[in-house]
Structure 1
């Protein structure tokens, strides 16, 4: 089975041909369009290109937002406001003849980890991605948990410092974006300049002020992680996003967790690991979601 899979983000769309036998092949990336017609066009062109040389079974899509995977309807589509309140499957089916399957990007990341990553064999785990914002996906009792209206996992909108910063969500407190913004302000770096989390961590080795900045940022990250562990009692919490590849992050988290509350050790200890997949999590997750849906259809057809 071959599927053309997309990981749609606010600035770029990653895509690949994925097969059961060969895995990911022929990867590419294009700039995310900012109108509906252009969006339809670029997705259809990629699919047509692969279909010209390979036998395609389906199209899988990973994208942000409140996504109903059963119908393809997106109540919200992240930064792609022109897709809000649209049925993405209907929109793309105007240009694509193959079956289309779509799921939220964080949940796709969880599927990738469950099927072939660091959550293999687990029935209860959480993926928390740290980047421009905070994203989470809950895999509970052996399946993805989506909530009553597909909004489960919007953990980044939670408030954890309400008395001092009532309007600040977790996105505004411990996303990588916030760490980088504070670093730029301290270093007097122009706002448009590109700075990575890796640069901040490197500078901290020589600058005590930046080191303190990271420590405070990790403290808030650990507060959010602790709350997840207390609420869901998972077997494991996986940390994703580009910053999770930094070998310094996990030791810092482990050091801080026991300082939040001694019950972390006695009652709520949970294994914390980085995700296996970073850049390819969405594409792989979309493929596994396609596999899931095709298997369900086969079983239903046989019954």
Structure 2
């Protein structure tokens, strides 16, 4: 069996585990999640990453190891070079991460493969989640930001629609968590941190806000997603957990516009990127 590790790297964490390629699932006893500050210096970031990888890989033979890493963009995924010039990971801008990790782990660069984090989410759902057996799938992650990805039957790609023009601003402003925070404050003058808090509020306010969100989301699908002609829409991210509260209005709106989409909610959420990174590495190796 191929020894493989899937890794999800975000702005505040590294989450990783060994993956069983036969069962297409994470080996839960190997799961590690550690805090890593993306604003730290290069050496601190690399030390934290390598330490976490070594914890997960401790019983694996280096020569047989395959590593898949889901990373946010902008990034040169083929060569493993960070292109993030502002905000997160500023101290590793233009650093060859593939080279650095290979050297520190004592493996070859050919054993490490990078994939966009949104595409990794989709690869994971196709490999071991709710989208197994489907072709032409559009994936949307709804949370702190907006992630968009399309699977064409072979590979998932990052569609990068977060900043696409939408109403008075960009799509992410209407579909990410901050919209719920801002809209609730506009309506009540009070603060919430996201959809989880909203579920504790009066039914009337809940319904109004979720209906407005459904209108925005369906308009986004009509404007930017429908032309991909997907068979399935997969929704992930924290907001997906509140889908039952805006499902009816969302589906009604799509039907009104003659869009017939099967909707599936992520089966594995945070684990999708780990599985997806691993499955992508397997594809690249073959």
Residue of structure 2 in register with 1:31 after alignment: 35
Conservation of the 8 A alpha-carbon contact between 2:211 and 2:246: no
Distance in 2, Cα, partners of 1:211 & 1:204: 9
Conservation of the 8 A alpha-carbon contact between 1:132 and 1:171: no
Task: Note the alpha carbon deviations across 1:77-116, whole angstroms, 9 max, x for none.
Answer: 8833333333321232331223211111110111111122
> Aligned residues, how many?
273
What TM-score comes out, normalization by structure 1 length?
A: 0.81
Distance in 1, Cα, partners of 2:75 & 2:21: 25
Task: Note the alpha carbon deviations across 1:143-162, whole angstroms, 9 max, x for none.
Answer: 2354xxxxx5111110121x
Conservation of the 8 A alpha-carbon contact between 1:60 and 1:286: yes
Residue of structure 2 in register with 1:48 after alignment: 54
Within 5 Å, give how 1:139-288 maps onto structure 2.
Answer: 139-140=151-152, 142-144=153-155, 146=157, 152-161=158-167, 165=168, 168-184=169-185, 186-189=187-190, 195-205=193-203, 208-246=204-242, 247-258=244-255, 262=256, 264-265=257-258, 268-288=259-279
Query: 1:278: how far off?
Result: 0.4
What TM-score comes out, normalization by structure 2 length?
A: 0.85
Distance in 1, Cα, partners of 2:202 & 2:71: 34
Structure 2 unaligned regions, length at least 5: none
Conservation of the 8 A alpha-carbon contact between 1:3 and 1:18: yes
Matching of residue 15 in structure 1 with residue 16 in structure 2: yes
Query: 1:188: how far off?
Result: 4.0
Aligned partner (choices 65, 75, 78) of residue 67 of structure 1: 75
Matching of residue 76 in structure 1 with residue 74 in structure 2: no
Conservation of the 8 A alpha-carbon contact between 1:60 and 1:102: yes
Distance in 1, Cα, partners of 2:209 & 2:264: 23
- The DSSP-based 3-state class of the residue aligned with 2:251 is helix
Structure 1 unaligned regions, length at least 5: 147-151, 296-303
Conservation of the 8 A alpha-carbon contact between 2:34 and 2:52: no
Residue of structure 2 in register with 1:294 after alignment: 285
Of 99-108 and 43-52, the range deviating more from structure 2: 43-52
Residue of structure 1 in register with 2:119 after alignment: 107
Conservation of the 8 A alpha-carbon contact between 1:74 and 1:83: yes
Does the C-alpha gap of structure 1 residues 90 and 181 become closer, same or farther in structure 2, counting only changes over 3 Å? farther
Residue of structure 2 in register with 1:300 after alignment: none
Query: 1:37: how far off?
Result: 1.1
Conservation of the 8 A alpha-carbon contact between 1:183 and 1:210: no
Q: Relative contact order (C-alpha < 8 Å, sep 6+): which is higher?
A: 2
Distance in 1, Cα, partners of 2:221 & 2:92: 31
